[in-house]
Structure formats: C-alpha cells, structure tokens
Structure 1
Amino acid sequence: MSSESLNSIFFNNKVKSPIKLLLLEDVAEDIELIILSLTNANLEFTYDVAETATIYKAKLDNNIYDAILADYRIPGFNGLEALKILQQSGQKIPFILITGSIGEEAAVECIKAGITDYILKDRLFRLPNILKRSLEEFTLRRQQQQALIERQKVEIALRESEQRFRALIENAIDIILIVSSEGTFTYLSPSVKRVLGYDPASLIGCSFFDLIHQADQQRIRQSFESIKIEANQSTILSEFRVCSHDNRWLMLEAIAKNLEDDPAVAGFVINCHDITERHYTAQQLRYDAYHDKLTGLANRSALLEQLQKAIDRNKRRRQDHFAILFLDLDRFKVINDSLGHLMGDELLKNMAQRLEQCHRDGDTLARFGGDEFVFLLQDIREPEEAVIVAQRIHEVLKAPFTLNNREVFISASIGITISTDHYDHPEQMLRDADAAMYRAKANGKACHEIFAPTMYLSALKELHLESDLRQAIQRQELVVYYQPIVFLKTQQIIGAEALVRWQPPGKSLIPPNDFIPLAEETGLIINLDRWVLQCACQQLYEWQQDFQGLAPHFISVNLSPKQFFDPRLKDIIIEIVGKTGLDKKYLKLEITETVFLKNSHTVLNLLYQLQQLNIQICLDDFGTGYSSLSYLHRFPLNSLKIDRGFINDLGQTNQNDAIVRIVGTLAQELQLELIAEGIEESYQIEALTTLGYQWGQGYYFSPPIDAQAFSLLLEKNTFHI
C-alpha cells in the first residue's frame, strides 16, 4: 500500500475520524508544545491526558486509542512502565517516547522493550512525521497479519477440493511447492519457470535444499524440521537465497505447512514469495541511512556510530587512542552565494574527492553537514599523527578547484580532539573539536588547532552570553544612550548618535564590544537595530517637542550590514517614522565600509532608495580596513566620519596629520559634512577647526549618556573650552 493511500486512511476526515491520542505528560507547557506541533502539521486529532499511572491505566481500560505519546519521566512513573501497561492492555498501537534528554543506554533499553520511536523535546517539529510513520507501520503490520490469516484460509480451502486446489496453485503468482519429509519436490507450480527459470518437471525428485545458498541451508532446515513433528504445523522461512536457472541468487521468503495427513497433498506445502527487489531496496535504504547522498561519504549517523565504538574501545583498552579532525570550509558561503547552490554542491563533491586523498586505511571520513567534514583517525599513538593529517589536508587544498571553467580557491579551518578517558559520548568530542575549529578560524583560517579545555570554557561563556542576550531583548534590559555631536566653532550641540547599551538588573553596563559582534553573528542584530532605530526616532521627536530650536538637528543610528541588506529596510523605516511622528529628514543612518564589499550595484540601489526617502547617509569609521576614495564619489553620501584612530594620533606624526588634512579637504570639495570621532583634548579641537572640520564628538564633550542626562545638556546647549 502506498504512503499516499495510508495517509488517506489515517489523516483524511472523509475516510476516518481524527486520530485519537493519549498523552502521558504532567507538564502543561509540554502538552501545549505537543499539541501545537501536531496542529501546525494540519493533523486532525483528539486527545486525552494522563498525568499519573492510575489515570493512565484507567484511560487504557476504558478507551481505544490510535497512539500514545509519553514523557519518559513522570513523577513515580517512567516510560518503560507505561509501555509494559500498554502491552498488558492488549491494545497494539504505536508508543512514542517524548523526552528532554535520554542517554544511549536508556535509548537502547527502550527500543529493546518495544517502543515504536522516541523524540527529543527540542525536536518536536519532527513529531508529526514520526507519528504518521508509526501509524503507517502499524497499519501495514496489521494488513500483513491479516494477509497471513487469509493465506491460511486459502490453504484450508485447498483441502476441500483437489480441482480448486489445482486451479489456484497453477495460476498463483507466488511459487507453490510440495515436498516430502526429506525435502524432495513432488510438485512445483508453473510460476517456478517465471521466477526461477526452471522447468517444473525437471526438478521433480530433486532436493529443495540443494537450491538454497549454503549459508542459509542450516537455518532453513531447522525451521523445516520444526513442523515435521505434528500435522498442520506451519513456520515462516524468512529471507533465504535460491539459485535461479541462470545462476543468479534470488531472495525468497516462504510459509511452510505440514499437510502430510491431508490425502490431497500428502506432504509439506511451501508458499514462496520473491522478495529480491524488496531486499535490495532495503539494502539501498540501509546504505542511504549511513551515507551522504551528495558526496557518497559516511554521514553524521555513521560517524556517530563509529565514534561511539571508538570511545567504547578506548574505555576497555586505554592504549587504543584515536582522534577526530573537524573541518569547516573557509568562505564557503561566499562561493555558494556568488556562484549558486549547484556550483556549491559541485564544490562539496570535489572537496570530498580531494579529502579522500588524505584518508588512511581504517579511518572514517564523513560529511557532517553543510560544509563540515570530520575525519575519525583510528590507532593514534601521538597527537602529532593527527597534526600530520591536518597538514596534509591543508596541502591538498592549496590547488584550485575548477567549477564551470572558473578556478576557485578554498581552505579549511580544522579543530583536532585527541581521545581521553573522560569522553563518554560522541557529542562531547565533537563539541570540543568544534570549539578548536572556531579557534582556528579566529586565528586567521586555513590552519588547525588542537583542543584545550580553555576553548570549551570560552565557547560555553559565549553560549551563555548569547542566551542572556536573547533574554535581555525580551526583558527590555537594553537601553539607548546618546552622545552629542557638536558644532566645533560654537561648541553647540548639533546632533546626537544613538548607541545601545546592555544594563542587566543589579549589574554594571555591558559595553557594546562585548555583545554587538555576537548579535551580528547570531542574527539578533536585525531586531536590535530596529529597536534602537525606533527608540532614537521617538526620542528625537520628544526633544523637538520639549526643546524646539535647541533640539538636535538630527539623530544618527548605526546600521549593521545585515540590517542594511534586509529587503524590508525601507518599509521598516517608513513604519517607524510614521509611528513616532519624526520627519525622515532628521534621521541619519551610519553605515561602515564593509557594506561596499557586497555587489556595488545592489549597494548603490539601496542608497538611492534611502536618499529618495530624504534620509541622510553617513559613512562611519572612514580610514579603517577597506577605505577607498572611490566610495566617496560613487555612492550618494551626506557625511563622513573619520576614524578616532586618526584623531588620537593628531599632532603625533606628519603622515597622520597629512591624512587628516587631506580627508578634510576632500570632504569639502565633495560637499560632505565631516565629523571627527574620539575628541578627548582641547588641542584636537583647535587643530581640527584649522583643518576645516565642522563637527565632532568624543569624551571631551560628553560620553554616551541616557536620555534624561542628555536633556540636561540640551538645556545648557554649549560646551566651553
């Protein structure tokens, strides 16, 4: 029966009522998540809830269910006990464990006990598919059992009439055999010719067992002997190989029944079904389960299995050391995005072939996922052996890859973990190798690092920081500070830059350098930028109402590259200024030079869209990393911020002063407003004014302060040297 037809039976209201579920769970939130997962998958279902063993038993005694979804741990009760109660109840339905965590031993014990499947609570999105598959498998099993019953009924009917018996077996698709107690053929149905290629008459008197593969003969003989003791006994002869007339090995399964006492048969009836195609399909499925479809390498499941075996061996024999190398391709996303996913896949296939050159006998090379590969190196005596393999990998990756007649260079960052007796599970070693790999990336990519415990602590700290940051956004622990931008000649406040700060309850402020890079890496920066933009626009509008002519003439908001390239940016800005009431001309967006590394046509188009909204654009940190004078005339900019590094060194070297002077002159010629960052000394103001700089900001005037403190500055609205 096809999956489609099974779905129609179980999940179509027009055919059958909704699935009836019993949830064994005592946590209301978990029940809600389970229901939400199934509802989102458009499943039609009803459910009962049992929070205790007593309620669970009562529900089973008084109701018929289609499946049970059970938490592994209920107070005073567990999943295995729940399974045993179900088995005793007589209801043969799927039993699926849902658990927060489960160890390898517990998982094996549950599977041996007869659970249908299990799923972790943080993977509930897989629950609908698991439930569907489990119901389908149970349906197929019932159908197979029914088919077996029907087949036995046919065999009984055969005894009633020799003529009907002959008509049936002569036209059967399956092979029908009758053999003596010694196993010699006394009858073979015509289907022997179609399936095996033999003329039925040519095999009369030959032994059934002579056709069976030698490796299967003893097992099949034992099954056959088991039904010779008593009449009408039957047995299943599971998967055995039979030699065909053209010397191919076909896979059969059969049901053998003792009908020696039936005069119409006087022997043993063997009903054989050709399962060759099904067998090889199953083999292919098993292969697919442990191999990556794209590269043909071992996949994550195969690696985890081999790694667990290596850990277990190391536990038994301390001298059996091994290592894993965790590879992550450098800049793969850039190649994938620029050349397309098809070329990205082609690169991964070529990469797999290249890495196999570094593969030692007995080792495992797996594609772990995406652009990640893992080597499991067996029989490592010294850490240097793993380093040698890593060096070999770097060496083979030096040659370019050819993709669509284009040469592409790519390297890999490699994290190395050496086995120790404190590792119990594969995930622990992979976690440490991953931490070492990220350390290699931080050290410049295209290199390798051996794991050290400090790397794990660093990764753990970053993980906690990410979790805290996500909660901080939800709990509104973030605040916006404002730093005045001053007209240098008059010392009056001309504008303000909005800067985000993190204020955990009862703790000191966390500076942006400690969390902004993490926000950019995790994608939280988009929501963060949007929130800061709304706060800043709202605040400037309030200052305009309260201070009118003394209010800042503009508010500057830093825009991350991720937010800049968000296709919703224009709509977001229109929505925010509409809500806050701020005129768009008072908004200035600060972008860094990194955005210009993207497609210049895209950047130019985005900048023109913002300009059409009457929004000002400021190029921040000019003079660092990627500075190019071409940016200043190619792109529609309103103002330019020279990096604080040049201001700090003002008056220190002639070269530095020359750069500051040239940038000032260039900005004037291009009619760009020029802002100097990082002013901390009065002599810097004098020098900058002389060089034509109009605006500045820095701790000399004020550090970033909250809105209330900034309002006090507006009342004063001047700084005196």
Structure 2
Amino acid sequence: MNYTRSNILLVNDIAAQSSLLARRLRHRGYEVAEVCGREQALDWIRRQRVDLVLLNTRMPRFNGIEVLRAIRRDFSVTRLPVIMITGKKESEIALQALKEGANDYVTRPVDFLLALARIRNHLALKQAEEALRDSEERYALTARGSSDGLWHWDMRTGRVQYSCRWKAMLGYQDAEIGDTPDEWLTRVHAEDVDLLRAELEAHLAGRTSHVENEYRILHKDGSYRWMVVHGLAVRDASGEAYRIAGSQTDITRAKVADALTGLPNRVLFLDRLERFMQKLRHTQTHGFAVVFLDLDRFKLINDTFGHMAGDDVLVTIARRLERCLRAGDTVARLGGDEFTILLDEINHPGTALKIAERISMEISKPVMVGDQQVVATASMGIATSSPTYEKAEDMLRDADTAMYRAKLIGKNRIQLFDAAMASAKIANW
C-alpha cells in the first residue's frame, strides 16, 4: 500500500485540534476526509474507500464508542483499522475502545509525530494483511483449478498445508488429513520413502536446484498410487531454506497401464493380486484364481503380416478379453503376447475352467488383418488361491507353469496347476 494514496477518515467534533491534524496529514500526502456525526461517518465508510479511521471518543452530539461498534459490525480489525482520539484523563474510555475493537489510540492534544508513526504502522499491517489475503485467495483459486495436489511446508513451524485436491488424490476429505509431514511421508511406500526423504533433504541443504521424485503412496482404499512430486525451496538472505512448496501429480495410469492396449500392466496386476492374497489371509474364505494366457504361434502373425498388424491383433484380443470379465475381475498385458487374468470369487477350480473356456472361444473368433482372416488361439494355465502362497509372484509363476504345460501337450489348451508340473518343468530345464 502506498502511504501517499491512503485514504483516512477523520470523525471529529469540529475542534481546531482535529482540523489541524487533518491539515498536517494532508501535508504528508494522505487523502483525509472529515465528517461529523455517526450517520455521516458510517455512510462515508460504506460509499468510499477508507484505509484507516481516526475517531474521537467524545463529541457533543454522539459517542465515539457507538460509532466504533457500528464499524466493527461490518469491518474487522484487519479490514479497517480504527485509531481512537481520547483525552489524557480518559484511560478507562481508551481501554473500553480497545475491548470494543479499536486498533490503537492517541491522546489529546495530539502528538503529531507519535500519531503519524501509529498511523503508518497500522496502514503497514493492513497492507500486509491484504497481501496475505490476496495470496491465500490466489492460492485457493490455483488449488481449485489445478488437477495436481499442492503442498506448502513451513520449515519454521514444521506444518504442511495440503490442498483439498492433494487430499482427494488419496481418497480423503479435507478434514481427514492434518497438517504434519507424517500425513504425507508415512503413506509413502516403504521402498520409496527413503529416496524421497533424501531428495527433500538434499534440496533443503542447497545441493540440488529443485525436488523431483516418483513414488508410490497409499490410497484410502488400500491401493498404492504412483505420484511425481516437484518442489522448490524459498531461502533467506543466508541461504537457509525456511519453506518449500510444490505439487503432486498422479502418474498411476502411465506407470501401470500397457501403452499398446491400455490394459493394466504387470505392476498393477501384481498389486491387485497381492491385495486379494491379503484379503484371503484375513478372511480365509475369499477364493480367486489367476489365468496365465499366451497366444499360440503369434510370431507367425508378426512374420507374415508385420508388427503393426500384430499390434492390431493384440488390441483386438485385449478388447475381447475385457468383454469376458465379470465385475471384480482384472485382465492385464504382461508384455508381448502374454496376458494374465485375475478372477474374483472363485471357490472351485471348475468355475475358473468354465470362464477360461469362454475366453478361449472368444479369442478363437477370426480377426481381420487387412483383407484376410486370421484365427488366434491361446494356451492357458490356471492357479487357484491358497493360503500357502506368500507372494503374488509365486502364484503368477504357478499359473505360468500350468500354461507352459498346456503348450507342451499341444497348444490351445487349458491346464490347472498342480505341484507335479513344477517338478516336471524344472526337470525339462
């Protein structure tokens, strides 16, 4: 706020002292308006821009405290500073005014230099409040309009401000997450948190130009989402960081989706399989199955028609697999011509076999490649859930082993895994 443009309203009792004060303030470059009476003062404040009010406490026709109360009904102490002008022996009135919301007071006869210093101080405070309010409003607008989650860490207080969007990215309402660093860092995956901490510490120490890190963070639903964080510190004159702020962007889809088909990739598939296994450990009743599917003689399609045609076939197969799924099932592409399917609510191997047979029929429908029809088939292996599995990779391995057996006995087959298959595969190696 430029002091020479500040507007001061002097509510006076037409005494010479007040008029002298107004003239001296104008001489200092302030715009000063003088009014008499409660209604004139309130009308002026409502219709004109007023940055500060100088208000006499006692006047012949009205009480300055009453005017102060009326002002405070519409304007807070930070929005409109009010400095009372009291008599030297009116300490009780001055105290009452402060209780009623006055920002400060000076006594009559007015010491101009003292009054000027207090006016400047309160105008400076008002300027700072307005700047802060404007900054907060702009931050709120940016946060609401951004698809990223914003965060601001004050190193002096140890508090972190997370935007509503930041919290929503993790599935939480605004009031469900506090303002401590632990709300963030304790949710970061155990394999990623040390590197994130190291990146933050290196930047705060001035060893890097900015923070950029990818990590997994726990969602409210129990899954992990991939995020990338960007941050930049603000430093004092000595180079010490006193705050750091930045954004968090959800990159889960890019991290866990297959670029060609849009299906989940191996990372996401194993994550979902692990969650199913955890549920089985807790309930002992949640059955499921993994189908490992490999297209037969797919290399021949690539060699005959080219890789672009092969990619088109893979996309077609992906869409057909999706149509075979039930609610709760997941199909993923591991790479090449390999797909995996996580079947939910499978309490008997026969149920998984029936679904696999339906998938086999859907896949074997002709696919147009240019002006020719191509028929694709698949070999499938099935592993059903068991509390003996310790890791998701173990169950996926057994489904792969069963698929390997299906290929050995003639392709376009479906095989359930049993322990003998694992021994036979090792022997063949």
Q: Please give the range of the TM-score, normalised by the shorter of the 2 chains.
A: 0.3 to 0.5
How does the TM-score come out when normalised to structure 1? Answer: 0.29
How does the TM-score come out when normalised to structure 2? Answer: 0.47
Q: Greater relative contact order: 1 or 2 (C-alpha under 8 angstroms, separation 6 or more)? A: 2
